[in-house]
Amino acid sequence: MGRYVVKRLGHAALVLVGVTLFSFFLTRMTGDPVRLMAPLDATEEEVELLRTQLGFNRPLHVQFLDYFRGVLVLDFGDSLRHGEPAMLLVFERMPATLSLSFTALLLAVAVAVPIGVVSATRRGGLLDALGTLLALLGQSMPVYWLGILLIIVFGVQLRWLPAGGRTDWTSYILPAVTLAAYTCTSIMRILRSSMLGVLGQDFIRTARAKGLGERTVVYRHALRNALLPVVTVVGLQLGSLLSGSVITETIFAWPGVGRFVVQAIFNRDFFVVQAAVFLFALVIVAINLATDLLYSLLDPRIRYA
């Protein structure tokens, strides 16, 4: 187990180096940030002076090595637009994104697990049919459409909930539902099919034969085994929840990282984009590692060498 973790950490470091390299050169391919920063009527000399001040006149590989050396000591450069350390700016916006993503994830799991279990145990029943319909809706509705629909119904028409912004807990409801819709229905479908597979296995029959109550059989024995693929999905979905919050954050005027990075891309604020990409990569790598380790906790048959 220990060796496995070390090996996976090594892989993670490699991934992060790759991400650093890629994000650096990809941003450079989008064009010249100095043009956007200088006032529209700046003279050619003023633009050149600014370029020299920012170090963009140096050869690309020199700029990269300089940046990479910075990353090694956790210095991701200063935002071109805000003049503050890029990583701190991203960090400042992280709470808004994380709190929304986790709320959405909790909501998704809390709704999906009972529905998924009931759909499987009462296969073919009315509840199963409703669950399937819900899953179909959730999987096929585009995020921006659902978001705007919720705003129109619950914000503008009924006036029950705020239409945007982050104020008190009520402002979490609409964006969290929007963000959770897809994840929730994915979990629901995976859990239903994996539950069906587990319920047909010998050990479930044994458990029933031992005279255990149906509730214990389903929740203690079957659910625990059926959750394995769900953990994988949740892990994967958390990554996409974080990065996928861009649209939701924009629609609901949510002050998070997603919206901030979109602005940074338009402004060619390279260092902010790089810092955010690095941070997202770090989070996703960490989630994948945690998912793999959770496997062995849930299913003692899985052992890593």
Partner 1 sequence: MQHHRALWMRAAAWVSAVALVLAGCAGAGRSSRGPDGGAGSSGAGAQRPVVVLQGVDATTLDPAGHAETPAYNILNNIYDTLIYRNHEMKLEPGLATEWRTLNDTTWELKLRQGVKFHNGDTFNAADVKATIERIIDPAEASPRRNNLSAIQEVKIIDDYTVHIITSAPYPILPNRLASEHVISAEYLAEHGKEYLAANPMGTGPYKFVRWVKQEEVVLEANPDYWRGAPQIQQVIFRPVPEAATRISQIQTGQADIAVNIPANQVEALRNDPSVKIVDVPSVRVIYVAFQTRKGGIVGNPTFRRALAHAIDARSLIDNVLMGAGYHMATALTPQHFGFDPSIQPYPYDPDLARRLLAESGYQGEEIQFDTPSGRYAMDKEMAEAIAGQLQKIGVNVKLQVNEWGNHVGLMTSREQKGIYMLGWGNATWDADGTLSPLLSGDGAFSSHESPVSDELILKARSTMDQAERERLYHQALRQLHEDVAHLIDWQQKDIYATSTRIEWTPRSDEEINLVSARLVQ
What are the residues binding partner 1 (CB under 8 A)? 30-33, 35-36, 38-43, 47, 50, 53, 73-75, 81-83, 85, 87-88, 91-96, 98-99, 102, 148, 151-152, 155-156, 159-172, 250-253, 255, 259-260, 263, 266, 268
Taking the least distance from each CB to partner 1, the nearer of 58 and 82 is: 82
Indicate the residue among 212 and 282 with the shorter CB distance to partner 1.
282
Q: How far is the CB of 105 from partner 1 (least distance, A)?
A: 13
Least distance between partner 1 and beta carbon 297 (Å): 24
Cα radius of gyration rounded to whole Å, the chain: 24
What's the min distance (Å) between Cβ of 129 and partner 1?
A: 34
CB of 74 to partner 1, least distance (A): 5
CA-CA-CA-CA torsion sign (190, 187, 236, 142): positive
DSSP letter assigned to residue 268: T
Query: CB burial class (10 A; 0-12, 13-18, 19+) of residue 237?
Result: buried
Q: Where does residue 116 fall: left (phi above 0), alpha (psi -120 to 50 degrees), or beta otherwise? A: alpha
CB contact at 8 A, 166 and 248: no
Which of 70, 200 has the CB closer to partner 1? 70
Within 13 Å of residue 294, how many CA atoms lie on the same side as its CB? Answer: 17
In the complex, minimum distance from the CB of residue 194 to partner 1, in angstroms, rounded to a whole number: 31
Name 48's Cβ contacts closer than 8 Å, sequence gap at least 6: 57
Residue number with CB closer to partner 1 (82 or 208): 82
- The upper half-sphere exposure of residue 260, i.e. CA atoms within 13 Å in the direction of its Cβ, equals 26
Report d(CA 141, CA 138) in Å as an integer: 6
Choice between 31 and 142, CB closer to partner 1: 31
- Tell the smallest beta-carbon distance from residue 50 to partner 1 (Å): 7
Q: Which is nearer to partner 1, 163 or 196 (CB)?
A: 163
